[in-house]
Amino acid sequence: MNIDLRHLRNFLAVAEERGFSAAGRRLHLAQPTITRSIRMLEEALGVRLFERSTRRIDLTPKGARLRDSLAPLVQQLDSALDDVRQGETLRVGFTWVLPEGIAALAAGFAEETGTKVELVRCDAAMAGLDTGDVDVALLRGEVSTNGVRGVLLCEEERLAAVSASSPLARRKTLDWAELAQWRLIVNTVSGTTFPEMWPVGGRPKVGAECRNFDEWLEKIAGGGVFGTAPASAARRYTHPDVRLIPLRGAPLVPTYLAYPVHGYHPLAARFADVAWRASRTVKGKARQAG
């Protein structure tokens, strides 16, 4: 018999709700889907499970017998599956500040799946994904590593970060091209700004290097170098001696949610899909507001 758990769950929902529409609302399925599922179950068993009329739906004697036998079995199955899921953790790595909304999304995902979502900061180029320290990673910049699948969540504008003592600190906006006259600080581990992003003959010289966002801020505050960063990260980590200035003509910073192509956590792709759908919703609302 071609019967699976989906058919049995649909049957129980109709039996308990006494209606196809109510069962569909409970299971978040369209009524035709529920109706088709019940028909397939009846055909596979070769028995009628419901007496249908224009006004009501009642269980047949065999339908009632199946409901009474099936309900405790499905409840026991659900309990066993919940026990297996207990204590499972999905580790999400990041290097700089998390994009807005990710923390809330992780909390909602944990509530929906019963799997704890742990946010892990890793000051490494792949945010711990390549070493197995995390299951999913938020990466800024292009993802070109073999064996990794990246889902584009957003593309952010950049802000320039300069020392409060710099002549640039008095400016309201800056052009990307004019920054080539100044010395750039490069985050060698997880940075998003490098001299090669400017055209040949118009590239800034490297004035300092760092390995994380905290060092980046302190060296800019000390003077002599500038940096650029995604707007969300730059605005959320502030420093009294650093000024943030909007940039014109700067390349956008893509943000990806990445996970391994092979051997990935069973919920990694699902988390990435949920994050992608949430990002599409945010973009749609932004377009409507604009």
Dump pLDDT digits (tens) for 67-103: 999 999 999 998 887 777 677 899 999 987 787 788 8
Residues 132 and 167 in one domain: no
**61 — pLDDT class (breaks 50, 70, 90):** very high
Residue ending a domain, choose from 28, 54, 83: 83
Beta-strand ranges (E) seen in 20-165 are 50-52, 57-59, 89-94, 116-121, 136-140, 148-156, 158-163
Closest CA to 99 of 159, 173, 22, 154: 154
Q: Which residue has the higher pLDDT, 278 or 195?
A: 195
Q: Which residue has the tokens 């400017």?
A: 198
Find the angle CA(128)-CA(133)-CA(134) to the nearest 5 degrees. 75
- Residue 172: pLDDT above 70? yes
Measure Cα distances from 181 to 163, 169, 184, 191 in Å: 15, 15, 9, 20
Per residue in 120-144, pLDDT (tens digit) is 999 888 999 999 999 999 999 888 7
- Residue 38: pLDDT above 90? yes
pLDDT, the chain, mean: 90
- Residue 54: pLDDT above 70? no
Closest CA to 161 of 99, 213, 197, 98: 213
Residue 158, C-beta contacts closer than 8 angstroms, at least 6 positions apart:
193, 228, 229, 230, 231, 247, 250, 251, 252, 253
- As beta bridge partners, residue 229 has 159
Q: Would you state the torsion angle of the CA atoms of residues 158, 162, 168, 170, taken in this order, to the nearest 10 degrees?
A: 90
Residue ending a domain, choose from 83, 109, 125: 83
Residue ending a domain, choose from 83, 102, 125: 83
Looking at residue 107, its pLDDT comes to: 92
Whole-angstrom distance between the N-terminal and C-terminal Cα of the chain? 55
Say how many domains are in the chain. 3
Angle between helices 20-27 and 5-17 (to 10 degrees): 120
- Residue 285: pLDDT above 70? no
- Residue 289: pLDDT above 60? no
- Residue 34: pLDDT above 90? yes
**279 — pLDDT class (breaks 50, 70, 90):** confident
- Domain residue limits at 35: 5-83
